[in-house]
Structure 1
């Protein structure tokens, strides 16, 4: 009799588990769009998120899809025009959402109408660094010394960045405006080539995410002058915030990434995805895994809170665009 009861119990438990298993097996994979090439910080963030999301989505497969170009606009547009059924998300940066609309003559999407915010996933700042060899030769002991040298040698420091409208370009423009100097911006398609040229001495400086420069900073080949956040980063506490330099007290620029879905995504799907993403983001091991890439894990209290943050941050980024001179006419 005991064996019969155990058998019936197994059948019952199997029947209860079947719907969840079938759900994961029959649902199409979730495409997580990364709007930058493989190998960069955002790509690493996306892959770390994807591998942790899948077990929380009842077996739904999560695939990272790189859709680079246009400073993040191409990938964001793919999300805006994707199926609104919980099978596509994008990791989209603050500059794409809050700065690009004031730079681009035309936008392929409407930030306020074409997306459904799910949650913030990361927060970071960028670092301004210079050639370690040149810093030693020219007495660039700190940011104040670098600014003094640039004032005496206009145009003598070229600084690589990711191009007009990106957080690195806007941060560099804000530094120039606040300090009254001209650190000459040089656009690059990717951080890897910036680092190569910086190490080769064909470029004096670079503004990039910490992860791209950290190994070279640690080796001494590159000298970090400061980070754009108002306070120092936990990843590199020895590097001053630029705001510590006289004349740069107002510099506080942080780059965050948000998970977005197409606007018409049903509320049930939004909540399902938000719950899973929040669980990943609050896991200490996820935050620890992000640290080498220069990110802090940050998740929103709700999708509505993330929507409100985008609206609140937009005027701040608009001002950065105006300062940079990149605002559309």
Structure 2
């Protein structure tokens, strides 16, 4: 069974309530129809009901009627949510009038549904920027307990079965934090290990914090940051198997790992790769995707108390379908912790 099929099966087994705020967007609606057909999640579509029904009829999407359709402008809960938002943001000076205006924005409405216990996760970004998707999530849902850093992980399904878990690797951060501090890098390592278990089906994450140096082979402030991040991550999450600083080949290739970092339980066996900054992470995964012909799934946002995921505005119907299943898997894990 492929990884994507495993993710879908787990979502089907314990269906979650997933909000799609871009309810009138064509790819989103077409993906939603397939999600409902396959029983992956109980979907909540936000937008004008008449428009959604008209579009679903136009495109022959017969199962959209089985979704819950809510227009924030006409919702009987909009005042309740406005009061909730005002309470959450009162220290930032938000007035009830401002809250009532924000609630009309589907991205805010969806996050308020999650905060109020009326939904389990949200997926958007086909029409909206990452900033627009993240802003209400951080204002309303906030970060997970003990975590202050949000990051984005990418699942890489490579054609190199000797590396990672039969060619499966998880890389982070590829999407959110440009130049993390040692403390932030440690948190990224911890949350990515959790994502590996929840979404990547990696029962034993082996986390390598990457650098251009392996175990002191080079000296610089950049290397020092990674070394410090390793110490902080081990102290904060001693149950996670992680090591660094490691060069990419030392992290992945057993013979090189043994040569450059003898005695390391991670060197040569890593299945989770933590880039030292966003520039390295983003460039690296795209090179693997394009030159190595790997399938890249994500980014999967992590560090938020309840799952809110972001799509590329160039996403496909298949991308949205897969990310709904991934969001559902994250929601199952989050609800199990409550």
> TM-score with structure 1 length normalisation?
0.23
Highest CA radius of gyration, 1 or 2? 1
